Structure 1
Amino acid sequence: MAARLHALAIRTSTPEASLTFWEDLLGWSRQGAELDPGQEGAFRLVFEASHEPRQGLNQIHVHLTSNSAPQAATVVRARELGATHLDVGQAPEEDHVVLADPDGNEFCVIEEGNSWLAGTGFLGELACDGTREVGVFWSEAIGWPLVWDEDGETAISPPGGGVKIAWGGPPLNERHGRSRMYVVLVADDLDAEVERLVHLGAAVVERREGEIGMTDPDGNEFRLRQQVF
């Protein structure tokens, strides 16, 4: 069986504040340092304390939809919880609103009626910096089919829908140290899954008991962990 997407891990200098912010904004249940979406989403959010300075834009950021609540209401609520407006060079005519969480991580609130995220949950998409090669890799790695593959841009979604992960294609943003966010996968047989992922284009960078540190074809960090029942 292929590896399964378990979580998006977020390195933060303010783990408690970040956890509380996203718990209140998303309405997900808190389990230690994790937020569990229940039936609403395909993965958890995990918050990891880090003292590394934040530099530049993240390789991954979250898109929140306005499918079940007005965009303006979500922006107001996020601001009340501690978010701030962020200028990342967006044009005045763009309909989405860019905000930053209490630790400075950017996220977007997408406008009502956006057809691309129709049918997705409140956390509708992970928007990623990456090449077509890496989108194809992740489709094969976790078994989510490609739902977009044009002009170097790719996107995947689980067979039942509900969320998307998308890669914008080149040019890629400049990297500044370790990524603030990385994907966590789980598997029943670590050795077999490592071999499969390496065959798909991943590389092993670190081995620990019950966990393998790896990179995808673009050099993005991810972790593969033993499934715990």
Structure 2
Amino acid sequence: MSSSIWEQVVVDCEDPARLARWWAEALGYQIVFEEPDEVEIRRSKDEMPGLLFNPTPDAKTMKNRLHIDLRPDDQEAEVERLVDMGARPVDIGQHDVPWVVLADPEGNEFCVLAAKKKP
């Protein structure tokens, strides 16, 4: 039986270097590969999966079909930190939920979940 390893998630964006650096700071990741048209970040050089940022001439026009969920120890503090870095709150019709939906500097939505309840 054959299986696959999750290598990376590809993010199409207007400015790969800028957005990769933003996400690297947000996640505590590092740049492991950089060319003018492609930047990859990972937790460490040998740890997968990574996020690979590629340029696209197309502007984002609708809600993402795939997004990242972050689970910090302190949701409120993390939302504040990410907003201070340039994220912004967005309403995608989530109504009253225990997570916060933000968008990165290019408008890609992601969620900041509440801390896991301790057993």
Normalised TM-score (structure 1): 0.44
2:18 partner amino acid? E
Distance in 2 separating the partners of 1:139 and 1:164: 10
1:147 aligns with 2:32: yes
> Does the residue aligned with 1:138 lie in a helix, a strand or coil?
helix
1:126 aligns with 2:9: yes
Q: Deviations over 1:66-90 (max 9, x none)?
A: xxx5xxxx7xxxxxxxxxxxxxxxx
Q: Deviations over 1:137-192 (max 9, x none)?
A: 110001111112331521111125122210012x3334342111111111121121
Distance in 2 separating the partners of 1:191 and 1:156: 25
1:198 partner amino acid? V
- 1:196 Cα deviation from its structure 2 partner: 0.8
Q: Deviations over 1:172-218 (max 9, x none)?
A: 33434211111111112112111111121111124855311100011
Distance in 1 separating the partners of 2:64 and 2:97: 23
Instruction: Give the alignment's Cα RMSD to 1 decimal.
Output: 2.4
Q: Deviations over 1:92-121 (max 9, x none)?
A: xxxxxxxxxxxxxxxxxxxxxxxxxxxxx7
1:187 aligns with 2:75: no
* Structure with the largest fraction of strand: 1
Structure number with larger C-alpha Rg: 1
Identity among equivalent positions (%) equals 26
2:48 partner amino acid? G
2:72 partner amino acid? A
Normalised TM-score (structure 2): 0.79
TM alignment of 1:27-176, pairs within 5 A:
122-130=5-13, 131=15, 132-159=17-44, 161-169=47-55, 171-176=56-61
Distance in 2 separating the partners of 1:179 and 1:122: 23
List runs of 5+ in structure 2 lacking aligned partners.
none
State the match for 1:204 in structure 2: 89
State the match for 1:104 in structure 2: none
State the match for 1:85 in structure 2: none
List runs of 5+ in structure 1 lacking aligned partners.
1-68, 75-120
